[in-house]
């Protein structure tokens, strides 16, 4: 035990237990000091009072230790006007007068001015541990208790922490960050001990003022509970590329529950990111601050929408054709009554129309009089060469692509140089399409013949479908079809014959036995692969079993070997068990139990059940008796008894696994 200590008394523990049971707090009111009756001693938990009390007064303070929540610290200041004795013991008293805790105190003299020539205040601090410090309360008479300097300092700090104005932070974080370790924020590296305003967490209830640590950050002491984080909280930011020297405020309305309420901070005063200068266009936020500025140079940038832009003018002019040098796209449509200048394609002054070439010999012209009239013709000319002529009764078009071809189109089924109109082309396409098989839904008549293949011996040229040089579906004769793969015939169907499977059929592995799926293969009849006939042991071989399963439950089993004869033999049952039978003879001795022994036709592997012995034939039935006394995997033995003499036949049946 330590030289000096504080411990709870038995009476104090009983008082504490009663308070917990009743759900009421533990109330401590006073502290007393004593001189130990003139000597130092070791107090124990049985004490109900000090050995000799010299002074008693109210406690100044009682609070939990910051690092050890189960520790309580009790403080008292003994005034200078009392003393003249030694302090060797102290006690903490409940409001009901129970000695709750007793203290062994280092021997100290408390002087008093009247008798000692000097006086001083005497400060005592006692630390003791309780099972639930949160239940302990202090009854204080504010008119009597003196406050210690530490208590006053802590009280003032707590009250200041409740004010809206907080101690400044180094930087502010506006993005979601990990609240742990040193890191870069707004262009500055923060290190352990520095304060940071956090405003951009994905879960905004995590926003607030934090102290940087090498591990997890903690909330600053002036903003670590709901009483200290209130609407209107303000804090200055000292540094930062974007937000240095700015003032921020908490704009969340009350009530606020720290850790649950979403906290929203906004900058009240500070940099907006706009460089100093003159701007024609400004963006102003709700606080009246200019947050953006531009100097537009175009109508669109200025927001003017009712005036044509430079691009509008370009588009409008681009839609016009220059008088010289441009190429027009699209049709040229003349209005009613418009006549072009005279053309000279035929040196006929009466030819009038539209001249497209500068020289006047390319265009559309009318050949009769000064105006087109009944009976006149229209000529299409290029470099004075007639390309086409349109008259009231006929039309002639010379085809530059098919020299000599003219219109109208010849009659259907005609094969000449005349142009084909849409009707002729459609008829030709329909006739050709009628001889083709549609990609979907069509029905083919006649024989479908594949290319020449080499599917198998004696393969003719008209063979069938060839997928590779030696793989395909072939017909080597009338009424016969053969399936080949890699030159091997897999299946064959003869005329009016059964389908022949020429190669061994193996189904893919299924999962009827999940614990040994790698060694199970066979035929799976259900989609889930656990119903069918399977061979255990991978590839079926000598000694393997054929197992029938339904929904992964074994329904039957056939072993690789079965044999039987009239007198001796064995067979596998569908459940996998073995049934054996055998016959033997015994020569009886009247009145004597004759032993017999027999070996089974085959040996059981894992189990044998009680054999059954039956009487066959032989001498007359004069009270015969027989029994099976022993049985093993390989045979059985027993005794037979009779009053007869002679030979009898016995038969034995045995079932096992």
Cβ–Cβ under 8 Å, residues 186 and 172: yes
Instruction: Please give the backbone phi and psi of residue 317, each rounded to the nearest 5 degrees, phi first.
Output: -70, -30
Select the more confidently predicted residue: 43 or 453.
Answer: 43
Element (H, E) at 555: strand 553-558
Q: How is residue 497 annotated by DSSP?
A: S
Cβ–Cβ under 8 Å, residues 453 and 471: no
pLDDT at 1: 55
Element (H, E) at 315: helix 310-318
Other CB atoms within a 10 A radius of the CB of residue 26 amount to 22
What residues have CB less than 8 Å from 440, skipping those under 6 apart?
A: none
Instruction: Please give the backbone phi and psi of residue 76, each rounded to the nearest 5 degrees, phi first.
Output: -150, 145
The full length of the chain comes to 657
What residues have CB less than 8 Å from 72, skipping those under 6 apart?
A: 62, 63, 64, 65, 127, 128, 129, 130, 133, 136
Tokens representing 639? 């005794």
Rounded-to-integer distance, Cα 352 and Cα 365, Å: 5
Beta bridge partners of residue 345, listed in sequence order: none
Q: Phi-psi category of 591—alpha, beta or left, where left has phi over 0 and alpha has psi -120 to 50?
A: left
Nearest to 126 by CA among 149, 175, 154, 92: 92
pLDDT at 337: 38
The mean per-residue pLDDT over the stretch 548-566 comes to 70
Rounded-to-integer distance, Cα 466 and Cα 485, Å: 10
Secondary structure of 90-152 as H, E, C letters: EEEEECCCCEEEEEEEEEEEECCHHHHCCCCCEEEEEEEECCCHHHEEECCCCCCCCCCHHHH
Beta strand pairing call for 53-58 and 488-493? unpaired
Mean pLDDT, the chain, rounded, equals 77
Rounded-to-integer distance, Cα 210 and Cα 394, Å: 98
Tokens representing 167? 């101690």
Residue with tokens 């010379």: 398
Nearest to 489 by CA among 466, 451, 457, 464: 457
Predicted confidence band of residue 76 (pLDDT cuts 50, 70, 90): confident
Tokens representing 101? 């805790």
Rounded-to-integer distance, Cα 16 and Cα 550, Å: 70
Q: How is residue 410 annotated by DSSP?
A: P
Cβ-count burial of 657 within 10 angstroms (0-12 exposed, 13-18 middle, 19+ buried)? middle
Rounded-to-integer distance, Cα 575 and Cα 18, Å: 73
Rounded-to-integer distance, Cα 647 and Cα 122, Å: 124
Select the more confidently predicted residue: 196 or 306.
Answer: 196
User: Half-sphere exposure of 570 toward its Cβ, with a 13 Å CA cutoff?
Assistant: 21
CA 582 to chain centre: 68
pLDDT tens-digit map of 196-238: 999 999 999 999 999 999 999 999 999 999 989 999 899 999 9
Rounded-to-integer distance, Cα 36 and Cα 336, Å: 135
Tokens representing 466? 């060839």
pLDDT at 540 over 50: no
For residue 41, give Cα distances in angstroms to 86, 92, 109, 476.
13, 18, 16, 122
pLDDT at 30 over 80: yes
pLDDT tens-digit map of 499-524: 777 765 555 444 455 444 444 566 66
Of all residues in the chain, what percent carry a pLDDT higher than 90?
A: 30
Cβ–Cβ under 8 Å, residues 28 and 87: no
Select the more confidently predicted residue: 272 or 75.
Answer: 75
pLDDT tens-digit map of 401-443: 445 555 566 676 677 776 677 777 788 777 777 777 776 666 6
The mean per-residue pLDDT over the stretch 366-395 comes to 65
Secondary structure of 180-214 as H, E, C letters: ECCEEECCEEECCCCEEEECCCCCHHHCEEEECCC
Beta strand pairing call for 136-138 and 352-355? unpaired
For residue 481, give Cα distances in angstroms to 353, 452, 469, 474.
76, 16, 17, 6
pLDDT tens-digit map of 363-374: 777 765 444 455
pLDDT at 53 over 90: yes
Other CB atoms within a 10 A radius of the CB of residue 166 amount to 22
Query: What sign has the CA pseudo-torsion 435, 437, 438, 442?
Result: positive
Tokens representing 99? 């000695």
Cβ–Cβ under 8 Å, residues 472 and 455: yes
Q: How is 44-105 classified by DSSP, letter by letter?
A: -TT-SS-SSEEEEEE-SEEEE-SS-TTEEEEEEEE-TTS-SEEEEEEEEEETTS-EEEEEEE
Highest mean pLDDT among 244-248, 335-339, 641-645: 244-248
Rounded-to-integer distance, Cα 433 and Cα 193, Å: 88
The mean per-residue pLDDT over the stretch 82-108 comes to 92
pLDDT at 126: 77
Cβ–Cβ under 8 Å, residues 578 and 572: yes
Rounded-to-integer distance, Cα 489 and Cα 473, Å: 10
Rounded-to-integer distance, Cα 123 and Cα 600, Å: 104
Cβ–Cβ under 8 Å, residues 403 and 413: no
Cβ-count burial of 12 within 10 angstroms (0-12 exposed, 13-18 middle, 19+ buried)? buried
- According to CATH, where is 2.60.40.3940 located in the chain? 569-656
Is CATH 2.60.40.3940 what the domain over 569-656 is classified as, yes or no? yes
CA angle 472, 473, 479 (to 5 degrees): 160
Select the more confidently predicted residue: 379 or 526.
Answer: 379
Predicted confidence band of residue 375 (pLDDT cuts 50, 70, 90): low
pLDDT at 617: 81
């Amino acid at each position: 035990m330590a030289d000096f200590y504080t411990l709870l008394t038995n009476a104090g523990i009983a008082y504490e237990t009663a308070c917990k049971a009743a759900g009421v707090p533990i109330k401590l009111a006073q502290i007393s000091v004593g001189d130990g009756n003139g000597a130092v001693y070791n107090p124990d938990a049985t004490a109900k009072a000090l050995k000799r009390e010299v002074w008693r007064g109210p406690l100044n303070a009682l609070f939990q230790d910051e690092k050890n929540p189960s520790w309580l610290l009790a403080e008292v200041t003994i005034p200078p006007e009392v003393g003249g004795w030694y302090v060797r013991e102290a006690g903490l008293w409940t409001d009901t007068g129970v000695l709750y805790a007793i203290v062994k105190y280092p021997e100290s003299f408390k002087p008093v001015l009247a008798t000692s020539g000097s006086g001083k205040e005497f400060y005592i601090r006692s630390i003791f541990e309780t099972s639930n410090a949160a239940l302990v309360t202090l009854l204080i008479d504010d008119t009597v208790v003196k406050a210690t300097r530490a208590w006053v300092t802590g009280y003032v700090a707590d009250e200041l922490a409740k004010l809206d104005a907080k101690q400044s932070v180094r930087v502010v974080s506006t993005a979601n960050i990990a609240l742990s370790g040193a890191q870069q924020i707004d262009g500055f590296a923060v290190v352990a001990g520095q304060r940071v305003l956090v405003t951009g967490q994905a879960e905004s209830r995590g926003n607030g003022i934090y102290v940087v640590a090498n591990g997890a950050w903690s909330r600053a002491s002036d903003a670590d509970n709901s009483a200290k984080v209130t609407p209107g909280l303000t804090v200055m930011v000292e540094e930062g590329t974007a937000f240095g020297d700015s003032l921020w405020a908490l704009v969340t309305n009350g009530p606020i529950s720290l850790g649950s309420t979403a906290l929203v901070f906004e900058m009240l005063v500070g940099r907006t990111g706009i460089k100093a200068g003159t701007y024609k266009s400004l963006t102003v936020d709700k606080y009246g601050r200019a947050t953006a500025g531009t100097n537009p140079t175009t109508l669109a940038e200025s927001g003017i929408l009712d005036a044509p832009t430079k691009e509008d003018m370009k588009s409008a002019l681009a839609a016009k054709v220059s008088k010289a040098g441009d190429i027009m796209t699209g049709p040229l449509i003349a209005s009613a009554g418009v006549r072009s200048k005279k053309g000279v394609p035929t040196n006929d002054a009466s030819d009038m129309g539209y001249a497209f070439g500068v020289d006047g010999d390319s265009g559309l012209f009318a050949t009769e009089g000064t105006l087109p009239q009944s009976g006149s013709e229209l000529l299409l000319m290029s470099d004075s060469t007639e390309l086409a002529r349109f008259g009231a009764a006929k039309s002639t078009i010379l085809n530059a692509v098919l020299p000599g071809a003219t219109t109208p189109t010849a009659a259907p089924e005609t094969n000449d140089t005349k142009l084909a109109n849409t009707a002729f082309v459609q008829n030709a396409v329909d006739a050709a399409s009628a001889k083709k098989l549609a990609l979907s839904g069509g029905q083919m008549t006649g024989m479908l013949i594949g290319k020449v293949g080499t599917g198998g011996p004696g393969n003719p040229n008209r063979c069938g479908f060839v997928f590779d040089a030696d793989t395909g579906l072939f017909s080597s004769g009338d009424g016969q079809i053969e399936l080949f793969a890699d030159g091997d015939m897999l299946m064959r169907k003869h005329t009016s014959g059964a389908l022949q499977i020429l190669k061994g059929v193996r189904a893919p592995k299924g999962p009827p036995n999940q614990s040994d799926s790698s060694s199970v293969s066979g035929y799976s009849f259900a989609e889930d692969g656990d119903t069918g006939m399977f061979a255990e042991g991978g590839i079926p071989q000598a000694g393997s079993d054929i197992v029938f399963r339904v929904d992964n439950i074994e329904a039957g089993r056939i072993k690789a070997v079965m044999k039987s004869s009239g007198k001796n033999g064995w067979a596998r049952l569908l459940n996998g068990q073995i049934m054996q039978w055998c016959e033997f003879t015994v020569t009886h001795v009247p009145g004597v139990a004759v032993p017999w022994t027999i070996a089974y036709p085959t040996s059981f592997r894992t189990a044998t059940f009680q054999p059954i012995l039956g009487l066959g034939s032989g001498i007359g039935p004069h009270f015969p008796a027989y029994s099976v006394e022993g049985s093993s995997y390989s045979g059985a033995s027993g005794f037979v008894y009779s009053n007869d003499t002679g030979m009898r036949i016995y038969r034995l049946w045995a079932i096992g696994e």
